[in-house]
Amino acid sequence: MSDETDKIEKTDAQWREQLTPESYQVTRLAGTERAFTGQYHNFKGIGDYHCICCGAPLFVSDNKFDSGCGWPSFYQPAADAPIDEHVDRGHGMIRTEVRCARCDAHLGHVFPDGPQPTGLRYCINSVALDFKPHE
Ligand SMILES: [Zn+2]
């Protein structure tokens, strides 16, 4: 986990200025992009996925799998990724919300129906991620 001193805090207006409307809606207002519309759900590039808000490395392509759910899915976060998990009781369901611990961006949810070795499916919005290919 990241230590609290590198926590990034910005005002709502600053986030709004930095992010596209779609990224702002998802990461700062806990929205969800429509399934199969994101740029990474069917994407197979080799590299790292960073937080769109603060640039923290969150996921790696090695851990991405084709879940067919319409959002990029990973069976685990990157080593040392600043990931925070919170119980989300919205929409009449109990789910586990996944956030960037560094800047509090909403990323998506984690479900217990993923492949081995973890059995987890981190279902993440494309617009919350910034992909950087390996050289
Ligand atoms: Zn972040």
Q: What is the pLDDT, as a whole number, of residue 4?
A: 56
Count H helices, E strands: the chain?
A: 2, 9
Report every protein residue that has its C-beta within 5 angstroms of ion ligand 1: 51, 53-54, 56, 100, 102-103, 105
Report residue 2's pLDDT band, with 50, 70 and 90 as the boundaries. Answer: very low
Residue 69 annotated in active site: no
Average pLDDT for 6-30 = 96
Which listed residue (53, 54, 103, 123) is catalytic? 123
- Cβ distance 129 to 49 under 8 Å? yes
Q: What is the pTM of this model?
A: 0.93
Whether 113 contacts 28, CB under 8 Å: no
Which residues 6+ apart lie within 8 Å of 32 measured at CB? 26, 108, 125
Measure the CA–CA gap between 49 and 39, rounded to whole angstroms. Answer: 12
In the numeric block, which tokens belong to residue 99?
């956030």
Distance 18 CA to ligand 1 centre (A): 13
Neighbours of 76 (CB within 10 A): 17
